């Protein structure tokens, strides 16, 4: 199963960068994680690197997230 990280409705994580929160509103550009563990690690890194923001990141399986945008 594949996973994505949702930032908010219509906005997802597009990759991982040490300096910013890479995001996209184009679903085809989302960063797809091959495991839940990998997605959780990146989620925690993004939260810790952006502790000045109030992030409520959600991990969703790719197929469920794709249905949200259709």
64, HSE (Cβ side, Cα atoms, 13 Å): 10
Per-residue confidence (pLDDT) for residue 7, from 0 to 100: 93
20-55 per-position pLDDT tens digit:
789 999 999 999 999 999 999 999 998 888 888 888
User: What pLDDT, on the 0 to 100 scale, is given for residue 19?
Assistant: 64
pLDDT in tens, 4-13: 999 999 999 9
Q: CA torsion, points 62, 12, 26, 61, in degrees to nearest 10?
A: 0
Report the pLDDT value the prediction gives residue 69, as an integer from 0 to 100.
85
Other CB atoms within a 10 A radius of the CB of residue 57 amount to: 19
How many domains are contained in the chain? 1
**Model confidence at 63, in pLDDT bands (50, 70, 90)?**
very high
Beta carbons of 57 and 8 less than 8 angstroms apart? no
At a CB cut-off of 8 Å and minimum separation 6, what does 68 contact? 60
Q: Which domain holds residue 63?
A: 3-69
Q: What is the pTM of this model?
A: 0.89
């Amino acid at each position: 199963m594949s996973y994505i990280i949702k930032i908010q409705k219509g906005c997802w994580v597009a990759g991982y960068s040490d300096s910013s929160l890479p995001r996209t509103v184009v679903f085809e550009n989302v960063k797809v994680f091959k495991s839940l563990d990998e997605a959780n690690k990146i989620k925690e890194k993004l939260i810790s690197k952006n502790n000045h923001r109030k992030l409520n990141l959600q991990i969703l399986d790719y197929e469920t997230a794709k249905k949200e945008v259709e």
